A and B are shown apart, each in its own frame.
Chain A
């Protein structure tokens, strides 16, 4: 589907060592998907059996979405990675729509570490970098908690060392 050399270069800069995020993120995301869509799908299936077969249509759509997610989410998670370079942080994600964000440490305004209940159960956390631009979508989901804490401290100290105005 894709020719490798055109894909390779932009998203694989030379001399950059990528750290993939934890594969547990896939579990967490699928759990969320299941919790949200599972009960509705079950209800629809029951209704389809009991009331009218027409309800198989929405139930089928939901089942398709869940199946699609089950296939896609692990791949998506495998595509997510980050890399700390000397002066900036690289965050990469996406298979179909690929995205690479370059955030210089000196532009960082603050760093968020988040972990919701499901993420905690899977023992992962997310680190999000904020610059003065709301368009900087540099969030790294699915980090082990120690790694998240390490990254947070490291980013904060590096940002301080290179602090600049806006």
Chain B
């Protein structure tokens, strides 16, 4: 093989490791599952044929076929596993993969947007986990390390976050040469020693009585390191997890009730009642009812998805940022470092107004490209107003006003000039007959708040330094009424803030000021490596 030509990189040989050896089995299983799913859909079309198949010996062949598929799947995964390896250096994560088409990926740690530890059901049962790094490089840019031992994944996460925060391993850490990789025992105490102790609560030994200081030197002693054995070795803990403090949890009953009260469910129930009434009126012709079968299936999927992803939702804050834990079958632990949240949306459907519940979502660069973004971008699935305020505080500790709570109240449920919002003029009612009194925008010294929605209420918050660009648009009707719209461009995600139908001249001034404020805020913004402190 020509590995050496491609591999001549900055990574010392003995830093490379492989995924857990059980990975092929777990991945292969997915292939079988996919085949079963396809078969199920085929059979679902024609149950009668399926019965005939089971009657004869055909099912034996099918079982055999499935076994072959499983073998091929596992075999292929084993080859993929064999050629995949990764390494962590001080400033990047390197992943080499691919047998036929080689891929080498180097993800810069100072561009790290989020680190997730994901445990699908099966992996969870056997104590494995997948580590996902988002680096905001467009679709497919996430680095996925699957699967690792759960403890390894956590150790690696702590290490990646510490490195991304600007902490370094020991004194020799800056030189990522073989010296650092080989002999230096990366003791836990050494890590914060190189930085200001006040900014490095990462490895406070008292916070975690089970910490590893004793075991680390032992591990370091055994390292003298042949590459082949080290590839699958346990990952030694170089950094402790940052201490975290729980901020809120979501009670399961509330999640269930809230999901059942969501607009889609209520709408379908209403439609179902209408159908039942229709059937009774049509003298028991139930043909019409079948129209609803796909709808019911979709709804069950929706409810399950919401409940499954929101179950056991817990949010905590740590020096490494926001930590979110959730998931029933698939457990997910997300860590979003400080300053990585690009925008927040707090919204409330019509049927959540009674209990005053809110759903809080966020834009994080990188998350939106993932397939199941609806699950990753949730900051709080069902928040009370207090919790919504807390969730916003997690992202934006300083809202830039004297009384943030009053402002938030005005933003969430106020209308017209409540709380000093700049609102849509009365003439905008021609364009937005219901919502015009809620449309409004408020600028604090740190963020832009955009309020909208008459029945389903909505609030978008964008920190000034996270504004990507601004668009000012005006259609023919808007021009006639002297109103306009500003779109605040954020990274891809659920939050797309638009200030609609406000006075054209006022918005033009806002556009100018906002461009200026965004620049000033960027100049003052903290460093990408958040433990480095502002210079």
Residues of B within 8 A of A100 (CB): 471-473, 511
Contact of B482 among A6, A99, A133, A136 (CB under 8 A): A6
Q: Which residue of B lies closest to A12 (CB)?
A: B508
Residues of B within 8 A of A132 (CB): 136, 342, 365, 468, 491
B136, A166: Cβ atoms closer than 8 Å: yes
B370 to chain A, nearest CB (A): 15
Most chain A beta-carbon neighbours within 10 Å: one of B340, B465, B519? B519
Contact flags A143-166 to B (C-beta < 8 A → 1, else 0): 000000000000000000000111
B513 to chain A, nearest CB (A): 11
Secondary structure of the B contact surface, majority rule:
mixed
Q: Which residue of B lies closest to A7 (CB)?
A: B479
Residues of A within 8 A of B484 (CB): 10
- Report if B522 contacts A (CB, 8 A): yes
Residues of A within 8 A of B444 (CB): none
Residues of B within 8 A of A103 (CB): 469
> Which chain B residues numbered 485 to 533 have a C-beta less than 8 Å away from chain A?
487, 489-492, 496, 504-505, 507-508, 511-512, 515, 518-519, 522, 525, 528
Contact flags A1-12 to B (C-beta < 8 A → 1, else 0): 011001101110
A108 to chain B, nearest CB (A): 9
- Report if B113 contacts A (CB, 8 A): yes
Q: Which residue of B lies closest to A13 (CB)?
A: B512
A98 to B511, CA, bound (A): 15
Contact of A136 among B339, B489, B508 (CB under 8 A): B489
Residues of A within 8 A of B504 (CB): 6, 9-10
- Report if B294 contacts A (CB, 8 A): no
A135, B525: Cβ atoms closer than 8 Å: no
B492, A97: Cβ atoms closer than 8 Å: no
Residues of A within 8 A of B490 (CB): 133, 135
Residues of B within 8 A of A88 (CB): 515, 519
A10 to B339, CA, bound (A): 32
Known: A88-B515, A104-B519. A166 touches B474 (CB 8 A): no
- Report if B57 contacts A (CB, 8 A): no
Interface residues on A, range: 20 to 34
B188 to chain A, nearest CB (A): 29
- Report if B437 contacts A (CB, 8 A): no
A135, B479: Cβ atoms closer than 8 Å: no
Most chain B beta-carbon neighbours within 10 Å: one of A98, A100, A132? A132
- Report if A83 contacts B (CB, 8 A): no
A134 to B492, CA, bound (A): 7
A9 to B472, CA, bound (A): 12
Known: A132-B491, A164-B525, A166-B491. A6 touches B479 (CB 8 A): yes
A3 to B111, CA, bound (A): 48
- Report if B475 contacts A (CB, 8 A): yes
A133 to B136, CA, bound (A): 11
- Report if B354 contacts A (CB, 8 A): no
> Which chain A residues numbered 8 to 23 have a C-beta less than 8 Å away from chain B?
9-11, 13
A90 to chain B, nearest CB (A): 9
B519, A106: Cβ atoms closer than 8 Å: yes
Q: Which residue of A lies closest to B496 (CB)?
A: A135
A11 to B479, CA, bound (A): 12
A-B contact pairs, 11 of them (CB 8 A): A2-B479, A11-B472, A87-B515, A98-B473, A101-B470, A101-B471, A102-B472, A102-B515, A104-B515, A107-B468, A166-B365
Given A132-B136, A164-B522, A165-B528: 10 more A-B contacts, CB < 8 Å: A2-B479, A99-B474, A101-B472, A102-B515, A103-B469, A104-B518, A107-B467, A135-B489, A135-B490, A165-B111
